[in-house]
Structure 1
Amino acid sequence: MKQQHVDEKEKIFKPILVAWEVTRSCNLACKHCRASSLRGPYPGELSTEESFKLIDQITEVGNPILILTGGEPLMRDDIFEIADYAVKKGLRVVMAPNGTLVTEVVAKKIKDVGIQRISISIDFPTEELHDKFRGVEGAYKGAVQAIKNAHKVGLDVQINSTITKLNYKYLDDLLKLSEELGVVAFHPFLLVPTGRGKELEEQELSPEEYEKTLNWIYDMQKACPNIFFKPTDVPHYFRVRMQRA
């Protein structure tokens, strides 16, 4: 659960955004995966009915944006039932698939069920590098095609990129790719070394690289008004905004 605000009258912490890992099953093997996702079935995920009850609990304490993530959320057979239930309960629902399963038919189902946006992760601007990082050949082509399929059905897309020493030098190229693909937002994430990401701990940005990245984000927010920037897991960005405002 992320991003809370306080109802001063009732002194209740109400979530603004809830990121729910609906499964750890996944068809990729990303090096940085915080969920340590699995190729096969994940026995610990909630049943459909348990998922409905969780959504009920969420709506009892607030009306947050609900991110259906994973693992690969589309590997759940009941994911559209879950999304439909959440939408009907009044939540703004978005989804974070890896793109490889988002055919045009699936994109239309996502749109029709009421999911308002999907986020597709692209960490490198080339097929070879992205596929190596994601652990499966074809991951890059799948992500790019998913974005095109989403556009065909009128579904908004954002690109997420996890920034490490491995792709730090490609920030401008990733932004250019985002513009070329016509996405509405670009969300740079700083590596959180948990799950499989622990193995990339040595690839975390140095303090100097971190600072340069924060200032690059600030500059690009000004230079690219057609793309919404939202740095994630980057608490020091607020300091940079205050310093440069």
Structure 2
Amino acid sequence: MSAPLRVDLILTYRCNNDCIHCYSSSPRETEELSTEDWKRVLKIFHGLGVPQVTFTGGEPTLREDLVDLVSEAQKLGMVSGIVTNGTLLSDDLSRRLVEAGLDYAQITLESKDPEVHDSITGVRGSWERTVRGIKNMVSTGVYVSVNSTLLKMNSPTILDTIRFVAELGVHGYSLNRVIYSGRATLDMEPSFEEMINIITEAKELAIELDLDFTWYGVTRYCEMDPISMGLGLKFCSACSINLAVEPDGTVIPCQSHYLKLGNILRDRWMDIWYSKECLSIREAAYIGDACKSCPLLSFCRGGCPLEAEVRSYPFKPPEVEPHELP
């Protein structure tokens, strides 16, 4: 591969929520590219053969040119989506985004319980605005999924949240782990045993309610094996399947790993893609000795490099048995 399959375009680090676990905190104030510069970025990635872009943030709907950028991606024949908290998705904006060519929207709802959701987002009244945004986007007919981060605070409400969003008419529901960047701390998420039980129940319920279910978490397979759980192959895809671009054009491995690889508007693409930093992540050079002889390494690739930084090696993994992909 000479380019990723998806690029996450971080249009802004501004946000109207203040989430307790946000990986975009610790404050990241940068200059933001102009509309024309973002269009140049889209054309560059289109020329490299990248088929898909996701507009994200921060909160991408704070950019007044979001509709224009979605339209540009559509003209280039690229699949485009947004990752948003949904609070600013008015009926008019939702309609204009879809008319411009938006292919999907992922909207964050942390809980069916307004108090739990607002406690996580740090903004009172955000639950009501997010739910209204979900309804507005669903009414357009575009593919809508709801995502929650699996936290100790919301884990007791996950099943009720799935039932709730199914009633709203969304097409999919996803869960992701805490990403160890920004404000996130190790004590925010349930234990692996608890996560396995919650995810298993969540998947079964989602399927029962005719929702697509996705688990986005990256784990060491010796601690939680997504393949045996029927969740598919999960590994760190930074610098391989996906990359991210910060608001000023800086390329980073993913939208939560702030390692500067170069600038998409100033540097040669091959210098970015084959930089020692990108190669290090692509080749999983961050793994510890305990992982190197593991029979699951080709699937697992040692988990998330950001987690490896906060859960220091060496660690003694449990015994695992090799298995084939289903």
TM over 0.5: yes
Alignment TM-score, normalising by the size of structure 2: 0.65
Residue 106 of structure 1, aligned match among 86, 93, 105: 93
The question of 1:60 aligning with 2:44 is answered no
Cα deviation, residue 136, structure 1:
0.9
Specify which of 64, 74, 78 is matched with residue 87 of structure 1.
74
Matches for 1:201-240 after TM superposition, within 5 Å: 201-220=186-205, 222-224=207-209, 226-235=210-219, 236-240=225-229
**Is contact 1:24–1:37 with CA below 8 Å preserved after alignment?**
no
Quick one: percent identity of the two aligned structures?
28
CA distance in structure 1 between the aligned counterparts of 2:128 and 2:10, rounded to whole angstroms: 24
My pick for the range that moved more, 200-209 or 101-110, is 200-209
Amino acid at match of 1:229: F
CA-to-partner distance for each residue in 1:122-173, whole Å, 9 max, x for gaps?
Answer: 1111111111111111111111111111233333311000001111122211
In structure 2, how many angstroms separate the alpha carbons of the residues matched to 1:55 and 1:154?
A: 25
Alpha-carbon separation, structure 2, partners of 1:210 and 1:186: 16
Once the two structures are superposed, the pairs formed by residues 121-140 of structure 1 within 5 Å of their partners are 121-140=108-127
Tell me if structure 1 keeps the 8 A contact 2:162–2:206: no
Equivalent residue, structure 2, for 1:21: 10
Instruction: Specify whether residues 193 and 108 from structure 1 end up closer, same or farther in structure 2 by C-alpha distance, changes over 3 A only.
Output: same
Q: Distance in 2 between matches of 1:42 and 1:219?
A: 41
Please tell me the residue identity of whatever aligns with 2:17: L
How far does the alpha carbon of each residue in 1:152-203 deviate from its partner, in whole angstroms, 9 at most, with x for none?
3333311000001111122211111121111001011111121122xx4211
Q: Which has the higher strand share?
A: 1
SS in 1 for 2:229: helix
TM-score of the two chains, using structure 1 as the length reference: 0.84
Q: Supply the distance in 1 between the matched residues of 2:157 and 2:43 (Cα, whole angstroms).
A: 42
Q: Residue 51 of structure 1: which of 38, 57, 61 is its match?
A: 38
Measured on the aligned residues, the alpha-carbon RMSD in Å equals 2.3
- Comparing both structures, which one devotes a greater share of its residues to helix? 1
The 1:214/1:153 distance shift into structure 2, 3 A limit, reads closer
Structure label with greater radius of gyration:
2
Helix, strand or coil: the match of 1:19?
A: strand
Partner of 2:144: 157
Query: 1:142 and 1:214, CA in 2 relative to 1: closer, same or farther beyond 3 A?
Result: same
Change in Cα spacing, 1:131 to 1:221, as seen in structure 2 (3 Å) is closer
Cα distance between partner residues in 1 of 2:158 and 2:54: 25
Residue 214 of structure 2 aligns to which amino acid in structure 1?
K
The 2-side partners of 1:125 and 1:69 are apart by 23
**Structure 1 residue 233, shift from structure 2 partner:** 2.3
The answer for the alignment partner of 1:7 in structure 2 is none
Give the superposition deviation at 1:222: 4.4
